[in-house]
Amino acid sequence: MQETVYLVDDDPDVRDAVSFLLTTERYRVKAFDSPEALLDFITEQHIGCLLLDVRLPGMDGLELQRELQRRNIRLPVLFISGHGDIPLAVRAINAGALDFIEKPFADELLLEKVDNALELSRNQRHEHAERIDVERRLNRLTPREVEVMEGILLGKLNKVIAYELDVSVRTVEVHRAHLLEKLDARNSSDLVRMVLSTDKYRNWLL
């Protein structure tokens, strides 16, 4: 799957023009004339970013954004807004869009924002991959190791963990060493960051 800019605009001229500009800069572009066409096509596997007109036939940009979130499609969203649509664009940002750009726009600005969006997308993918990896490694821990790890997450000292689990401090130290090795963490704080980034433990401290 290649990194692509998914463009949705109902105006054929604007659609062709933006596609042409992006293609000239060697981006892969796939254009759609309606939100429905995009939704029919796109899946969680697609990578890249979304470039959406705020006003679209049948569904506005905000509704499309919500629908994409509902389908767990987390590509960065850039909105293109026309004259007088700024308030709508601001609401889109508040709802989680990356940025918006006003028509007619300077090419550098568009390209810069698309670049940023694609980079963000790559970072997100990287983090996602890392998270998946961490989760895979977490699954390899023994129940006892999990208990020790949760103690570490809560910031407990080794002796407190040892007392609570009714084992020796030495044993806790051995478990901690195994944990660092199994999760491929450099030290305890690295371990905490890594574990807290996973879906399972994201809200664990709260």
DSSP 95: T
Task: Bin 35: left if φ > 0, else alpha if -120 < ψ < 50, else beta.
Answer: alpha
List 37, 58, 159, 184, residue binding other proteins (CB under 8 A): 58
Distance CA 62, CA 97 (A): 9
Q: Which is nearer to other proteins, 12 or 155 (CB)?
A: 12
A 10 A CB-CB count for 206 gives 4
- Site string (109-138) toward other proteins, x via CB under 8 A: -x----------------------------
Instruction: Judge contact between 52 and 64, C-beta under 8 A.
Output: yes
Q: Which is nearer to other proteins, 27 or 201 (CB)?
A: 27
Site membership for other proteins, residue 29 (CB under 8 A) = no
**Minimum CB–partner distance for residue 4 and other proteins (Å):** 18
Q: Which is nearer to other proteins, 105 or 163 (CB)?
A: 105
Q: Which is nearer to other proteins, 21 or 196 (CB)?
A: 21
Distance CA 131, CA 44 (A): 16
List 11, 133, 135, 173, residue binding other proteins (CB under 8 A): 11
Distance CA 133, CA 198 (A): 9
**Minimum CB–partner distance for residue 67 and other proteins (Å):** 16
**Minimum CB–partner distance for residue 56 and other proteins (Å):** 9
- Site string (70-99) toward other proteins, x via CB under 8 A: ------------xxx---------------
Distance CA 20, CA 26 (A): 10
Q: Which residues pair with 81 in a beta bridge?
A: 102
Query: Which residues, in sequence order, are CB contacts of 138 under 8 Å at separation 6+?
Result: 146, 183, 195, 198, 200
Distance CA 50, CA 2 (A): 14
Q: Which is nearer to other proteins, 30 or 74 (CB)?
A: 30
Site membership for other proteins, residue 155 (CB under 8 A) = no
Binding site for other proteins (CB under 8 A): 10-11, 13-14, 16-18, 20-21, 24-25, 55, 57-58, 82-84, 103-107, 110
